[in-house]
Amino acid sequence: MSRCIFKFKSNSKSIILVIKLYSNKYPITIKNFLKLCNGNNSNLISFKKSKITRIISPEFIIQCGELKRSRGKLCDFQLVDCKEYEKATRGDNNTKYKSGLLCLVYNEDERIPIESKFEFFIILKDVSKYKDEVQLDKYMIIGELDKGTLSKLIEFCNSIKVNEMDEPIEECYIDRCGEVIRDTTTTTTTTTKEGEINAFEALYGKKK
């Protein structure tokens, strides 16, 4: 299972999130998602500095990841693998509505602007009893928050004022992001400690 890290920032607060990605289930889609976390694609486009576009907290989601064009271009690849998308959205699954899940905004509706098809959202509260209203079945779940992070994310979301369209009024964006790389040189075996070390390396680079 791969992991990535995001630092969300507003004018007054910041939070670091570690997210476990379902790379065993959806290897192609996760590989593409990590390209946007790391910025290692031909146009050097990444989620870094992209705005948080919608917050409905604490009862629903935080959404972000709208890409900005570089030299008039977006990515030279499609984020979602079609076969993996079909696999992920097949059937009626209540687990898609649980809190802490990372979902891609992408779906097959051609009316959605191409920039928005790279966005993602995190579910803040279990909404399975409202599944007929929120209808998340056609969204692809690709990961989940590391344990113990959700309450901090909700606290961050609740500190940000939004307008009638649920858009943040103050500046609010992804400050940094990257893939968490396992440190094979350390003898540390506990997941929590490893995660802390690798997370900061993903944000700030490896210290000598």
List, for residues 39-91, the tens digit of each pLDDT value: 876 567 889 999 999 999 999 999 998 887 655 566 777 888 989 998 888 86
Which pair of structure tokens corresponds to residue 95? 């687990």
164 CA to centre of own chain: 24
Q: In the chain, pLDDT over 90 holds for what percent of residues? A: 48
DSSP alpha helices (H): ranges in the chain?
A: 27-38, 82-89, 131-134, 150-158, 191-204
Give residue 194's pLDDT band: very low, low, confident or very high (50, 70, 90). very low
Residue 56's pLDDT is 95
Instruction: Please give the DSSP secondary-structure letter assigned to residue 112.
Output: S
Rg (CA), the chain: 17
Q: What is the mean pLDDT of the chain?
A: 81
β 120-123/61-64 pair status: antiparallel
pLDDT digits (tens, 9 = 90+) for 126-175: 988 877 777 777 889 999 999 889 999 999 999 999 999 999 999 999 99
> 10 Å Cβ neighbour count for 191?
10
DSSP 118-140: G-EEEE-S--GGGHHHH--TTSE
Burial readout 127-166 (b: 16 or more C-beta within 10 A, e: otherwise): beeeeeeeebeebbbbbbbbeebbeebbebbeebebeeee
- Given the structure tokens 């007929």, which residue do they identify? 132
The pLDDT, as a whole number, for residue 23 is: 96
DSSP for residue 81:
-
pLDDT at 116 over 90: no
Highest mean pLDDT among 27-41, 63-77, 103-117: 27-41
At residue 134, the pLDDT reads 74
Q: Give percent of the chain with pLDDT exceeding 70.
A: 75
- Range with the poorest average pLDDT among 57-71, 110-124, 182-196: 182-196
Name the most confidently modeled range: 32-36, 128-132, 195-199: 32-36
Element holding 77 (H helix, E strand): none
- Spell out the domains of the chain, with CATH numbers in brackets: 2-204 (2.40.100.10)
Q: In the chain, what is the greatest distance between 2 CA atoms, to the nearest angstrom? A: 53
Q: What is the DSSP letter of 68?
A: P
